[in-house]
Structure 1
Amino acid sequence: MIRVLHIIQQLGPGRGGVRTFVSTMLDCPAPDIEQSVLSVGRVEGDRFGERFFGPLIDSYSPLLVGTLGAKRLGAFLSKHRFDIVQIHTNNALGFVFASEAKKAGVPSRIVHCHNSALGSTSSLKNMVNVAMIERFLPAASERWACSEVAGEYLFRGAGYALVHNGVDSDKFRFSPSDRAAVRHRLGIPGNATVIGFVGAGIPAKNTLRALDIFNQLRSSEADSRLLLFGQAEELPLAKEKAAELGLGESAVFIGTVDDIWRYYSAMDALVAPSFHEGLPIAFIEAQANGLPILSSDAVTQEADLTGLLQRAGLSLSDREWADLLQACAGKREITAKVDYVPFLDKAGYTTRSLYEQLSDRYRNMTKGA
């Protein structure tokens, strides 16, 4: 039996990309692979059942997680046998954890990057991050990234393997019945334009800008709605902003849901004025649904698997963004009739492809052990 431990820095309450990826991997049907999850830092929201360990410290602080948390991680790995640790990260702490795993005797140590930036505007923090990456980089026996831009950011010119995020594409196909049911439940007219936003309150997602853009759209389409998913740290600010703009019931804060595919069918477009991204799982899900996407040009072009993604500069005005978003939403009647799942299958962004690829990689790492 191959024992794999997914290590995460912390586990927030929302449906983030790392949580989604790990949850997907735990459903991998390979009978010879046993997977578990450990959070070094604080845990909020749903856990992963009996296969979950942690938190090792009750803190979100990168300093505490990277010092006391890393020390406790080393002690944990010395007591429990794992063939592989897969460390999900977007910063130098992934390599610090890999160093502790190496000291504990874990033979295969994967550092898996899920984003294209540290997420801090502090030049000092970025300098420290780079210095720590360079110091601890050799501790990783494998380097994986969700996209080329993510790999180039974290691995600083060192080699890495691309591992595509995978979704259950059949589940995310457009459904007319889901569209009608969700709109009915939320009290949204059938002919209203509905915009989606995933990652509400996450600083990198630029939630406040999304609200400003939608406010401009609403000025020309009074019945339009903005559905916001997620509940990260800036959510209170987002709700205050929505109130200041007088959006009222037009901005619907959904929170975290387990059936987001139903909501995709109810939408006409997805907006994502992000400051930085890796390759968002939400974009893959939306494209499986045939949902047009308008994102910032901080999102890698690799994310466009179907021709449904349009990118715009953050320097454009809110009105210009709103006009582009309105044009994207206007395509929904056509895109809802097209099956986009074969595009994802061909590009390797389905759970089937993910399971096959990672199962083979895990087996090759432990061959002869």
Structure 2
Amino acid sequence: MIRVLHIIQQLGPGRGGVRTFVSTMLDCPAPDIEQSVLSVGRVEGDRFGERFFGPLIDSYSPLLVGTLGAKRLGAFLSKHRFDIVQIHTNNALGFVFASEAKKAGVPSRIVHCHNSALGSTSRLKNMVNVAMIERFLPSASERWACSEVAGEYLFQGAGYALVHNGVDSDKFRFSSSDRAAVRHRLGIPCYATVIGFVGAGIPAKNTLRALDIFNQLRSSEADSRLLLFGQAEELPLAKEKADKLGLGESAVFIGTVDDIWRYYSAMDALLAPSFHEGLPIAFIEAQANGLPILSSDAVTQEADLTGLLKRAALSLSDKEWADLLVTCAGKRELTAETDYVPFLDKAGYTTRSLYEQLSDRYRNMTKGA
């Protein structure tokens, strides 16, 4: 039996890319691979059931997670045998954890990058991050990234393997019955334009700008709605801004849901004016649904698997963004009639492809062990 431990730095209450990826991998049907999860820092929300360990410290602080948390991680790995640790990260702490795993005798140590930036505007923090990467980089026996831009950011020119995020493409296909049911439940007319936003309150997602763009859209589409999913740290600011803009019931804060594929069918376009991204799982899900996407050009072009993604500069005005959004939403009737799942299958972004790829990688790592 191959024992794999997914290590995460911390988990907030939302449905983020790391949580989604790890949850997907825990459902991998390979009978010879046993997978579990450990969080070094604080966890809110779903804890992955019986296969969850931690948190090792009750804190979100990167300093505490990277010092006391890393020390406790080393002690944990010395007591429990794992063939492989897969460390999910977007910063140098992933390599610090790999160093502890190496000292504890774990033979295979994967550092898996899920984003394209540290997420901090602090020059000092970015300098420290780069210095720590240079120091601890050799501790990783494998380097994986969700996209080229993510790999180039974290691995500083060192080699890496691309591991595509995978979605259950059949589940995310467009459904006219889900579209009608969700709109009925939310009190949204069938003729209204519905815009989706995933990651509400996450600083990198630029929620406040999304509200400004939607407010501009309402000047020409009075019956439009904005559905916001997630509940991260800036959510109170987002709700306050929605009130100041007078959005009222047109901005619907959904929170975290377990059936987001139903909501995709109810939408006409997905809005993502992000400051930075890796390759968002939400974009893959949306494209499986045939949902047009308008994103910032901070999102890698790699994310366009189907021709449904339109990228725009953040320097454009809110009105220019709103006009582009109207154009995207206007394509929904046509895209809803098209099956985009074959595009994802061909590009390797389905759960089937992910399970096959990672199972083979895990087995190859442990050959001869």
Measured against the shorter chain, the TM-score band is over 0.9
Corresponding residue SS for 2:170: coil
- Residues 92-139 of structure 1 deviation map (CA, whole Å, 9 limit, x = unaligned): 000000000000000000000000000000000000000000000000
Deviation, structure 1 residue 29 = 0.1
Distance in 2 between residues matched to 1:219 and 1:74, nearest whole Å: 56
- Residues 183-217 of structure 1 deviation map (CA, whole Å, 9 limit, x = unaligned): 00000000000000000000000000000000000
Aligned twin of 1:282:
282
Corresponding residue SS for 2:178: helix
- Residues 293-335 of structure 1 deviation map (CA, whole Å, 9 limit, x = unaligned): 0000000000000000000000000000000000000000000
Aligned twin of 1:76:
76
Deviation, structure 1 residue 171 = 0.2
Deviation, structure 1 residue 11 = 1.1
Corresponding residue SS for 1:43: coil
- Residues 41-84 of structure 1 deviation map (CA, whole Å, 9 limit, x = unaligned): 00101110000000000000000000000000000000000000
Distance in 1 between residues matched to 2:123 and 2:15, nearest whole Å: 29
- Residues 134-191 of structure 1 deviation map (CA, whole Å, 9 limit, x = unaligned): 0000000000000000000000000000000000000000000000000000000000
Distance in 2 between residues matched to 1:79 and 1:202, nearest whole Å: 36
Distance in 2 between residues matched to 1:164 and 1:213, nearest whole Å: 30
Distance in 2 between residues matched to 1:341 and 1:256, nearest whole Å: 25
Corresponding residue SS for 1:6: strand
Deviation, structure 1 residue 363 = 0.1
Distance in 2 between residues matched to 1:29 and 1:12, nearest whole Å: 27
Aligned twin of 1:217:
217
Distance in 2 between residues matched to 1:76 and 1:322, nearest whole Å: 51
Distance in 2 between residues matched to 1:199 and 1:259, nearest whole Å: 15
Corresponding residue SS for 1:31: coil
Distance in 2 between residues matched to 1:184 and 1:18, nearest whole Å: 32
- Residues 212-240 of structure 1 deviation map (CA, whole Å, 9 limit, x = unaligned): 00000011110000000000000000000
Percent identity reads 95
- Residues 241-281 of structure 1 deviation map (CA, whole Å, 9 limit, x = unaligned): 00000000000000000000000000000000000000000
- Residues 329-368 of structure 1 deviation map (CA, whole Å, 9 limit, x = unaligned): 0000000000000000000000000000000000000000
Corresponding residue SS for 2:82: coil
Deviation, structure 1 residue 39 = 0.2
- Summarize the alignment of residues 84-123 of structure 1 with structure 2, pairs less than 5 Å apart: 84-123=84-123
Distance in 2 between residues matched to 1:234 and 1:128, nearest whole Å: 25
- Summarize the alignment of residues 1-369 of structure 1 with structure 2, pairs less than 5 Å apart: 1-369=1-369
Corresponding residue SS for 2:58: coil
Distance in 1 between residues matched to 2:16 and 2:364, nearest whole Å: 29
Corresponding residue SS for 1:171: helix
Corresponding residue SS for 1:5: strand
Q: Provide the TM-score with structure 1 as the length reference.
A: 1.00
Structure 1 residue runs of 4+, over 2 Å off? none
Gaps of 5+ in 1: none
Corresponding residue SS for 1:195: strand
Distance in 1 between residues matched to 2:219 and 2:188, nearest whole Å: 17
Distance in 1 between residues matched to 2:44 and 2:328, nearest whole Å: 35
Distance in 2 between residues matched to 1:5 and 1:63, nearest whole Å: 23
Distance in 2 between residues matched to 1:50 and 1:233, nearest whole Å: 28
Distance in 1 between residues matched to 2:235 and 2:15, nearest whole Å: 14
Corresponding residue SS for 1:254: strand
Distance in 1 between residues matched to 2:277 and 2:151, nearest whole Å: 12
Deviation, structure 1 residue 18 = 0.1
Distance in 2 between residues matched to 1:43 and 1:295, nearest whole Å: 29
Distance in 2 between residues matched to 1:204 and 1:221, nearest whole Å: 27
Distance in 2 between residues matched to 1:206 and 1:82, nearest whole Å: 38
Corresponding residue SS for 2:171: coil
Distance in 1 between residues matched to 2:318 and 2:57, nearest whole Å: 42
Distance in 2 between residues matched to 1:198 and 1:218, nearest whole Å: 19
Distance in 2 between residues matched to 1:310 and 1:122, nearest whole Å: 30
Distance in 1 between residues matched to 2:357 and 2:183, nearest whole Å: 38
Corresponding residue SS for 2:169: coil
Distance in 1 between residues matched to 2:215 and 2:11, nearest whole Å: 32
Distance in 2 between residues matched to 1:282 and 1:49, nearest whole Å: 23
The aligned length equals 369
Q: Provide the TM-score with structure 2 as the length reference.
A: 1.00
Q: RMSD value over aligned CA atoms?
A: 0.2
Distance in 2 between residues matched to 1:359 and 1:293, nearest whole Å: 31
Distance in 2 between residues matched to 1:119 and 1:260, nearest whole Å: 25
Distance in 2 between residues matched to 1:334 and 1:206, nearest whole Å: 29
